[in-house]
Amino acid sequence: MSAHADFDYDLLVIGAGSGGVRAARMAAAQGARVAIAEDRYLGGTCVNVGCVPKKLYAYASHFRDSFDDAVGYGWHLPETPTFDWPTLRDNKSGEIKRLNGIYQRLLENAGVTLYNARARVVDAHTVSLTSAKGDTQLSAQKILLATGGWPWVPDFPGSDLAVTSNEVFDLDVFPKRFLVLGGGYIAVEFASIFNGLGSETHLIYRKELFLRGFDDEVRAFTRDEMGKKGVQLHFEANIERIDKSEDGLAVTLTTGETLTVDTVLVATGRQANVEGLGLDNVGLTLNDQGKIDVNERFETSVPSILALGDLIDSPELTPAAIAEAMQIVEHHFGDTTPEPLDYERVPTAVFCHPSIGTVGMTEEAARERLEKIRVYRTDFKPMKHTLSGSDERMLMKLVVDDATDVVVGAHIVGEEAGELIQNVGIAVRAGLTKADFDRTLGVHPTGSEELVTMRQPTRN
């Protein structure tokens, strides 16, 4: 692509999260002159206040169960293990600093100019940057909006006393009593994390069952398993108000119940992070989903302005933003037109306890969209727990299109479900049939062999 001398840059990216950084690096590798503006931290939500610290905390929260499980295998700990929150918190912060540095080096090595500044769109080809050094304006042939999402907090008396997922990783004091409001994966994961670390944990959700959009059987199974692990679930309830009390925070629920806790996490969803971005200067608005509309080239209604990731109506997942970044670079700076992304069969994991791995259609979606389906499901006590004394169970489920025998959905609840679903995701993405699964020999003895040994349909 020829450089346009009448612009400062060929591409100016606003937001140095996973999608923005990948787009900047790959465009620069194609010979484009690229700049990126970021006013917070390199790596975005995922690295700083999302998937990375969340997974580290999820690892930490599993040890308590591991200590309990070890007894049945002959291990005796000389004293009761204790948990030190500052160690985990500060070690996590050290790891994130390391990752921030890696992102900076990746950009530098790619020849991308990094501006530590707040960016605002002025017109179709101009961005103003505000930093401690003052204000400046840059022009670009293409502007990519990659500012991601931001936690949304509903308005109720005392809502300012709650924290969001942005602050929860860095609490000064470990909450002995923890309450999370919300029913999405973030709420469910943090309920499991703090319960596992030793908090008395409550989850409040306004509907009858959490994890809307996931397979119903998976949702119910996860509810039961989390309940067994001690998370106190309050469905069809909401927070009416939060008051400071002598003993912490008094949370009054719409059910009339009052719970006293140390920390309230509000995880009620995320919104497109566009405040002060200057969208109105170029006539861009959010659609009914609160997202920016784009075409297959990721162009907004202003063709020189592109958008990706949590700003557009696609799965709010780091790998999705990275895949979109690669597409953008191919469309605008490459030689070929890429195949559109397949958002239908995206493997995802929820790192609650037990964890969830899922790819493809839920049973409910398959019933709606296909004429006839077969469902294969099994739940069992994993071999590890034959001696551990734990009553934890594992669920595995395949949804099959009866007409073609193609496996259109796979769902797992249990230990390491996230690791398992990546591999099953390849099979589902490739369109393999139930016969292909059946012809694959199991690895014995593992839990995952159940995926290839379910012969009889549970229901049609």
- Exposure pattern of 85-98 as b/e (b: 16+ CB <10 Å)? eeebbeebeeebee
For residue 2, give the DSSP letter: -
Torsion of CA 267, 273, 275, 280, to 10 degrees: -140
Nearest-angstrom CA–CA distance, 151 and 50: 11
Please state whether 286 falls in left (phi above 0), alpha (psi between -120 and 50) or beta: beta
Nearest-angstrom CA–CA distance, 151 and 358: 24
Q: Hey, is 12 helix, strand or coil? A: strand
Rounded to a whole number, what is the largest CA-CA distance in the chain? 73
Nearest-angstrom CA–CA distance, 343 and 310: 14
Residue ranges in 229-359 assigned as alpha helix (H): 318-333
Nearest-angstrom CA–CA distance, 190 and 141: 42
444 is catalytic: yes
Q: Hey, is 55 helix, strand or coil? A: helix
Residue 251's Cβ-count burial label (10 Å; 0-12, 13-18, 19+) is buried
188 near 350, Cβ under 8 Å? yes
- Exposure pattern of 412-431 as b/e (b: 16+ CB <10 Å)? bbbbbbbebbeebbebbeee
Q: 76, 202, 332, 444: which one is catalytic? A: 444
Tell whether the torsion through CA atoms of 90, 94, 97 and 102 is positive or negative.
negative
> Residue for token digits 């933003």?
321
Q: Which residues are catalytic?
A: 444
